[in-house]
């Protein structure tokens, strides 16, 4: 039986604003570029479709589950390029008219949706004039989510989830963790690389993070540094700032090597 082959993945980095059409137009050639370089799975950042002047702007473009501009675009792009396409977050309607679900949506190569994860942990931060409270406009999810891809089991998470390692432990043994994000410049400079590398090392799997990266029309600065990290915590590829892509392979041989040399997953006492 032939050995499993490396599975090429990519992260798209954007600097999104408040216009959904313009944001999708910015992302489209980047998705195409990733596919042209052989990526079979592509992940977009959190808020890839809208990062407005106000946190409430996403309420105006919320979509019903299963229909809407962003969801239709994701399905069409996945189908056109024959890839697994992960929409970092799409604002989906919920029972609370003043909030949305921040939903990470996965579409398969035929365009059909294969997974949905609603962001569980909602970011809150206050430092001087910089203040955020996602709970005011987002209703948290409650269920973990993963899906099977040719590379193995892929775990879904969004941005602030990265700070909660128990979420990933709850997903079982993974080949790849996805982290679409919009880390602030402040928290990103302090913790982004540290947290991503820790999640890769402790789960002995690849981590692919797609970030917002730059100065947005609303004045917010996001950290960027989209990257792919291997199971030993080494950075495979990285995009510092501005629109761009990160490309690399999820290599089954590398996964097996790390887990054989240091069988930490087998040594766990608390499961």
Known catalytic residues are: 46, 119, 159
Length of the chain: 271
Tally the C-alpha atoms within 13 A of residue 260's C-alpha that lie toward its C-beta: 6
Task: Tell me, rounded to whole angstroms, the distance of Cα 15 from its chain centroid.
Answer: 15
Return the closest-CA partner of residue 73 out of 111, 42, 43: 111
SS3 of residue 97 by DSSP: coil
Rg (the chain; Cα; Å): 17
Cβ-contact 225, 192 below 8 angstroms: yes
b (16+ CB within 10 A) / e for 195-216: bbbbbbbebbbbbbbbbbbbeb
CA 48 – CA 24 distance, rounded (Å): 8
Per-position DSSP letters for 196-261, written without gaps between them: HHHHHHHHTSEEEEEEBEEE-TTS-EEE--EEEE-TTS-EEEEE-SSSEEEEEEE-HHHHHHHHHH
């Amino acid at each position: 039986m032939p050995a499993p082959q490396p599975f090429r993945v990519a992260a798209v980095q954007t600097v999104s604003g408040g216009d959904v059409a313009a944001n999708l137009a910015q992302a489209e050639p980047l998705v195409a570029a990733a596919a042209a370089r052989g990526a079979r799975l592509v992940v977009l950042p959190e808020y890839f479709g809208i990062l407005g002047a106000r946190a409430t702007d996403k309420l105006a473009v919320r979509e019903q589950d299963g229909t809407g501009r962003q969801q239709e675009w994701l399905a069409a792009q996945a189908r056109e390029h024959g890839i697994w396409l992960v929409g970092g977050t799409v604002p989906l309607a919920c029972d609370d008219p003043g909030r949305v679900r921040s939903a990470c949506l996965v579409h398969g190569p035929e365009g059909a949706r294969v997974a949905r994860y609603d962001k569980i942990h909602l970011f809150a931060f206050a430092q001087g004039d910089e203040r955020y409270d996602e709970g005011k406009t987002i209703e948290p999810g409650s269920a973990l989510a993963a899906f099977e891809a040719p590379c193995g089991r892929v775990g879904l998470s969004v941005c602030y989830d990265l700070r909660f390692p128990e979420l990933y432990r709850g997903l079982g043994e993974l080949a790849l963790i996805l982290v679409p994000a919009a880390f602030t410049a402040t928290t990103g400079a302090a913790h982004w690389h540290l947290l991503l590398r820790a999640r890769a090392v402790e789960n002995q799997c690849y981590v692919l993070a797609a970030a917002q990266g730059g100065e947005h029309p609303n004045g917010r600065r996001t950290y960027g540094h989209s990257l792919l990290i291997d199971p030993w915590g080494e950075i495979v590829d990285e995009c510092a700032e501005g629109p761009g892509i990160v490309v690399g392979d999820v290599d089954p041989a590398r996964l097996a090597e790390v887990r054989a040399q240091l069988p930490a997953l087998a040594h766990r006492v608390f499961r």
